[in-house]
Amino acid sequence: MVDSDKKEFRKRDFLYVIPLWLLSLIVPDADDLYSYRSKEFKRRELFYLGALLLLPLIWRDPHFHHLMVLGGIYAILALGLSLFLGYAGQISLGHAAFFGIGAYTTAILTTRYGFPPFLAFWISPFIAAVAAYLIGRPILKLKGYFLAIATLGFGEIFQVIVRESTALTGGVIGIFDIPFLAVGGFTFDTYLKQYYLTWGLLLGLFLYSKNLVRSKMGRAFLAVAASEEAASTIGINVTQTKLGVFVIGAAFAGFAGSLFASIMSIANPEAFSLNLSVLIVIMVILGGMGNLYGPIFVSVLLTWLVDILGKYQAWSLPIYGVILILLLIFFPDGIGSRLGMRLIYLISYWSKKKRREEGKV
Amino acid sequence: MSLLRVEEITKVYGGLRALDHFSLNVEKGIIKGLIGPNGAGKSTLFHLISGIEKPDSGKIYFKDKEITALESHEISALGIARTFQTVQTLSNMTAIENIMAGMHLRLKGNLLSSGFWLPWTGRAEKGALNEAKEILDLLGLLGRWKSPASQLPLGKQKLLELGRALAMKPELVLLDEPASGLTSAEGDQLKERIHQFKRDGMTFCIVEHQMGMVMEIADQVAVLYNGRLIAEGPPDIVGRDAQVMDAYLKRKRSDA
Amino acid sequence: MDSWTYIPQLLASGITVGAIYALVALGFVTITRACQIINFAQGEFVMLGGLLTFFLLKDLTPSYPLAASIAIGIVVMVGFLMYLSVIYPLRKAPMLIPLIATLGASIFLSNTSGLLFGTLPKALPPFSGEHPFQMLGVSVLPQSLWVLGATFLLLALLYLLSHRTFLGKAMEASSTDPLGADLVGISRNRMVFLAFGVSAGTGAIAGILITPVFFTSYNSGTILGLKGFIAAVLGGWGKNTGAILGGFVLGILEALSVAFIPAGYKDAVAFAILLLILYFRPKGILGSPFVDSRRW
Q: What is the pLDDT of residues A196-211, one digit of tens each?
A: 899 999 999 999 998 8
The answer to whether residue A138 neighbours chain C at the CB level (below 8 Å) is yes
Position A4 scores a pLDDT of: 47
What does pTM read for this prediction?
Answer: 0.86
Measured torsion, CA atoms of residues A223, A225, A230, A235, in degrees rounded to the nearest 10: 50
From chain A, pick out residues whose CB is under 8 angstroms from the CB of C115.
Answer: 314-315, 318
Distance between CA C127 and CA C138 in Å, rounded?
A: 20
For residue A1, is pLDDT > 50?
Answer: no
Which of A217, A226, A237 has the CB atom closest to B111's CB atom?
A: A217
C142 domain-assigned = no
Position A12 scores a pLDDT of: 60
Structural domains of chain C, count: 1
C134 domain-assigned = no
| Domain chopping of chain A, boundaries | 62-335
Which of A215, A222, A234 has the CB atom closest to B121's CB atom?
A: A215
Position B254 scores a pLDDT of: 44
For residue A179, is pLDDT > 80?
Answer: yes
Segments of chain B scoring below 50 in pLDDT: 252-256
Domains of chain B: 2-89+171-255 (3.40.50.300), 92-151 (no CATH)
How much is the mean pLDDT over chain C? 84
Give the burial string for B209-246 (b: 16+ CB within 10 Å, else e): beeebbbebbebbbbbbbbbbbbbeebeebbebeebee
How much is the mean pLDDT over chain A? 83
For residue A344, is pLDDT > 80?
Answer: no
Neighbours of A307 (CB within 10 A): 16
Enumerate neighbours of A (3 or more CB pairs within 8 A).
B, C
Whether A127 contacts A251, CB under 8 Å: no
A139–C275 CB contact, under 8 Å: yes
Measured torsion, CA atoms of residues B145, B149, B152, B156, in degrees rounded to the nearest 10: 80
Average pLDDT over residues C63-71: 86
Which of A149, A317, A318 has the CB atom closest to C274's CB atom?
A: A149
Residue, of A170 and C45, whose pLDDT is higher? C45
Distance between CA B36 and CA B206 in Å, rounded?
A: 12
From chain B, pick out residues whose CB is under 8 angstroms from the CB of A226.
Answer: 88-93
Distance between CA A194 and CA A208 in Å, rounded?
A: 21
Average pLDDT over residues C184-202: 88
Residue, of A237 and A349, whose pLDDT is higher? A237
For residue C291, is pLDDT > 70?
Answer: no
Give this complex's ipTM: 0.89
Which of B76, B107, B148 has the CB atom closest to A33's CB atom?
A: B148
Distance between CA C284 and CA C28 in Å, rounded?
A: 15
Phi, psi of A190 (to 5 degrees): -105, 160
Distance between CA B230 and CA B208 in Å, rounded?
A: 16
Whether A294 contacts A30, CB under 8 Å: yes
For residue A3, is pLDDT > 50?
Answer: no
C27 domain-assigned = yes
For residue A26, is pLDDT > 70?
Answer: no
Q: Which residues on neighbouring strands pair with residue A186, listed in sequence order?
A: A183
Position A17 scores a pLDDT of: 63
pLDDT-derived band at C296 (thresholds 50, 70, 90) equals very low
Neighbours of A239 (CB within 10 A): 17
Sheet holding B65-66, edge to edge: B16-27, B2-13, B57-62, B65-66
pLDDT-derived band at A36 (thresholds 50, 70, 90) equals low
Question: For residue C283, what is the nearest residue in chain A, using CA coordinates?
Answer: A146
- Three-state secondary-structure class, residue B107: coil
Percentage of chain A beyond pLDDT 70 is: 83
A217–B114 CB contact, under 8 Å: yes
Position B185 scores a pLDDT of: 83
A vs B: CB pairs below 8 A? 114
B72–A34 CB contact, under 8 Å: no
Average pLDDT over residues C252-278: 86
C215 domain-assigned = yes
C119-175 tens-digit pLDDT: 778 777 777 767 777 777 677 777 788 888 888 888 888 888 878 888 888 887 877
How far away is chain C from the Cα of A83, in angstroms, using its nearest Cα?
A: 16
Percentage of chain A beyond pLDDT 90 is: 36
For residue A111, is pLDDT > 80?
Answer: yes
Tell me which H or E stretch contains B32: strand B31-35
pLDDT-derived band at C293 (thresholds 50, 70, 90) equals very low
CB contact set of A13 (below 8 Å; sequence gap of 6+):
A347, A350
The answer to whether residue A275 neighbours chain C at the CB level (below 8 Å) is yes
How far away is chain A from the Cα of C120, in angstroms, using its nearest Cα?
A: 15
| CATH number of the domain to which C50 belongs | 1.10.3470
How far away is chain A from the Cα of B246, in angstroms, using its nearest Cα?
A: 35
Position B253 scores a pLDDT of: 47
Average pLDDT over residues C242-266: 87
The answer to whether residue A314 neighbours chain C at the CB level (below 8 Å) is yes
Position B178 scores a pLDDT of: 87
Give the burial string for B41-54 (b: 16+ CB within 10 Å, else e): bbbbbbbbbbbbee
pLDDT-derived band at A31 (thresholds 50, 70, 90) equals low
Distance between CA C49 and CA C200 in Å, rounded?
A: 9
B192-232 tens-digit pLDDT: 888 888 888 889 999 987 777 888 888 888 888 888 888 88
Residue C60, domain extent: 2-127+149-293
The answer to whether residue B216 neighbours chain A at the CB level (below 8 Å) is no
Instruction: Tell me which architecture the domain covering A62-335 has in CATH.
Output: Orthogonal Bundle (1.10)
Mutate to test the interface with B, among A33, A141, A229, A233 (most CBs of B within 10 A): A233
Neighbours of A317 (CB within 10 A): 20
CB contact set of A185 (below 8 Å; sequence gap of 6+):
none
Neighbours of C178 (CB within 10 A): 17
A230-250 tens-digit pLDDT: 999 999 999 999 999 999 999
Neighbours of C91 (CB within 10 A): 13
